[in-house]
Amino acid sequence: MKIRVKDSFISRLSQQVDYIAKDSPPRARKFKNDIIKEINNIIPNPYKHRKSIYFENENIRDLIYKGYTIVFYINPNEHIIDIFGFIKYQENPI
C-alpha cells in the first residue's frame, strides 16, 4: 500500500507545527517528524487502528498520537491510504 497525504491534513498539521514552533522550534520539528514516522507505520497493518469515531465507514480509521487524532481512509481497491484529518479538540475532522 501507498500513502497519499491530502491538503487538509497538511494544512492542519502545519498550523499545529507553527504553533508549537512559537515556543520551541526543535520540539516542533520533532513533533512533525514523529507524526510522519507514525503515519509510515500504518502501512503494514492499517486495520489495527480503531474504526473512526467520526465516520460510519469500516475503512476510515483513527490513529491516535499524543492526544491528536490522524484520520485516514483505507482504499483497498487502489491499495492507497489517504491521510486527511488531523484533530485536536474539534468536532469537524475535514
Q: List phi, psi (to 5°) of 45.
A: -150, 75
3-class DSSP state of 76:
coil
pLDDT single digits (tens) 2-50: 999 999 999 999 999 999 999 999 999 999 999 999 999 999 999 999 9
Count of the separate structural domains present in the chain: 1
- CATH number for the domain spanning 54: value is 3.30.2310.20
User: Is there a domain that residue 67 lies in?
Assistant: yes
Which of 89, 68, 82, 88 is closest to 8 using CA atoms? 82
User: Is there a domain that residue 47 lies in?
Assistant: yes
pLDDT single digits (tens) 42-91: 999 999 999 999 999 999 999 999 989 999 999 999 999 999 999 986 55
User: How is residue 52 annotated by DSSP?
Assistant: P
Q: Which domain holds residue 66?
A: 2-87
Q: Is the dihedral of CA 68, 51, 90, 39 positive or negative?
A: positive
